[in-house]
Amino acid sequence: MATIHDVMPPFELFQPTTVEDTLALLDKYKHDAWVLAGGLDTFDWLKDRNKRPKVVVDLGMVPALKGIKPTADGGLEIGAATTLTEVAKNATVKEKFPMLMQAAELVASPQIRNQGTIGGNVSQDTRCWYYRSGWTCYRAGGNICYADTPSAINREHAIFDANRCVAVNPSDTAPALVALDAKMVIRSLRGGERVVDAENYFIGPAIDIMKMNVLQPGELLVAIRIPSTWAGSQFYFEKVRERQVWDFPMVNVAAAMKVSNGTIQSSRIVVNAVAAHPLRLTAVEAAVAGKPRSEETAKMAGDLAVQGAQPLNHNGYKIPIMKNLVKRAIRGEAQA
């Protein structure tokens, strides 16, 4: 097992004050640079010696990356370095997208939310303990997944879309953002700005086994735009975790639904912590469209949601949890 040391190995620290300077640094140092936002994921990696960047670029002094502002279309733009507490307490988020507020509020503990950023929460690395122990698994550039062996302990791991690596995405805000059809604004010095659908921001091991998102060296997630498309819809967010005080999700679900006279017109339903990326349930969305928001529809949706799940030795429990979360999302129980 890795040992957490009191002192981190040396690195060069940069604290730029503008996005432009940040991008210039990231462009200069590329693979050698590590982006530090809230630092909650970063310091574990650095103290464990499992990541050894030459350069750390601290975003904490860049005001342009913070804050929540309305967009022309009635949506919101959230700076990537905005803290989760700010997201959870923002009046507009609460009014238009209460699901995001709830998701942000369920991340970890108040202290962590005060420090952690929404950009960091969506871009954080997986929590697979084998990977984080510093062993050379697939995700670390090796040729084995220690979490998928006959004797592995894999309670937290994937039941969908595993491809050699069985790690999962642990974010709570990510499924909410995918359900809200958010757009991730990415900038780089040479490439300018590109906007990626939140659904496409996350990637699984089949595409790139060493990354969880599309960010390339030199690129920075600067903001998250939430269109007004789903503002005022019916939302549902629920997170199941082992310790109710604070923990990563065992499974969570985020759903945005447009309902008219008790009939589901359209929806976006996303589950996380079951795959290496937030899993949008498009088959369920199609199946419930035009159906009444009833117990029968909920049961059908729950059954459909878990079709194709492939549990490992110790995470079969995720299937009934996911099934029930989807059922509850359709029923709208404990509605956000």
Partner 1 sequence: MGFLVQWGKNPWGQDILTHAQWSLVYFALAFGVLFMLGHTLFVAFWPKPAGPTTAPVSEAAAARVPQRVKRHSLAARMFHWIMAASMLTLLVTSFVPILGLKFDWVQLHWMAGIVLTISIIYHIIHASFWLDFWSIWLNKEDVNEARTRLKRAMGQTVPAPRKAAKYPWDNKMYHTAIVLSAAAAVPTGLFMMKRIQTPFYVRNPYLFSDTTWGVMYVLHGLSGIGLVGLTIAHIYFAIRPEKLWITKGMVFGDITREDFLKHHDPQRWVVGKES
150 part of the interface to partner 1, by CB under 8 A: yes
Q: Are 173 and 121 in contact (CB under 8 A)?
A: yes
Note whether 105 and 91 are within 8 A (CB). Answer: no
Q: How far lies 83's CA from each of 38, 116, 300, in Å?
A: 8, 5, 38
Can residue 164 be called a binding residue for partner 1 (CB under 8 A)?
yes
- CA–CA distance, 281 with 304 (Å, rounded to integer): 9
Distance CA 303, CA 103 (A): 24
- x/- string (CB under 8 A) for partner 1, residues 283-312? ---------------------------x--
Distances (CA, A) of 79 to 37, 214, 223, 227: 12, 18, 4, 14
Beta carbon of residue 45, minimum distance to partner 1 (angstroms, whole number): 16
Which letter does DSSP use for residue 83 in this model? B
What is the Cα–Cα distance from 130 to 155, expressed in whole angstroms? 12
Half-sphere exposure (CA, 13 Å, Cβ side) for 135? 13
**Least Å distance between CB 24 and partner 1?**
23
* Residue number, 129 or 246, with CB nearest to partner 1: 129
Q: Which of 142, 191, 217, 232 binds partner 1 (CB under 8 A)?
A: 142
Closer to partner 1 at the Cβ: 143 or 261? Answer: 143
DSSP H stretches of helix in 48-126: 84-89, 91-96, 98-105, 110-115, 118-123
Q: Does 146 bind partner 1 (CB under 8 A)?
A: yes
Give the one residue of 25, 106, 107, 140 binding partner 1; rule: CB under 8 A.
140
Closest approach of partner 1 to the CB of residue 190, in Å: 15
In the range 180-209, which residues lie near partner 1 by CB under 8 A?
A: 203, 206-208
| Shortest Å, Cβ 208 to partner 1 | 5
**C-alpha to C-alpha distance for 88 and 310, rounded to whole angstroms:** 34
Residue 267 CB, nearest approach to partner 1 (Å): 27
**Scanning residues 205 to 244, which ones bind partner 1 (CB under 8 A)?**
206-208
Q: Which is nearer to partner 1, 38 or 278 (CB)?
A: 278
Q: Which stretch binds partner 1 (CB under 8 A): 117-125, 144-152, 269-277, 315-323?
A: 144-152
- Residue from 119, 110, 111 nearest 81 by CA: 119
Binding site for partner 1 (CB under 8 A): 130, 133-136, 140-146, 148-151, 162-164, 203, 206-208, 310
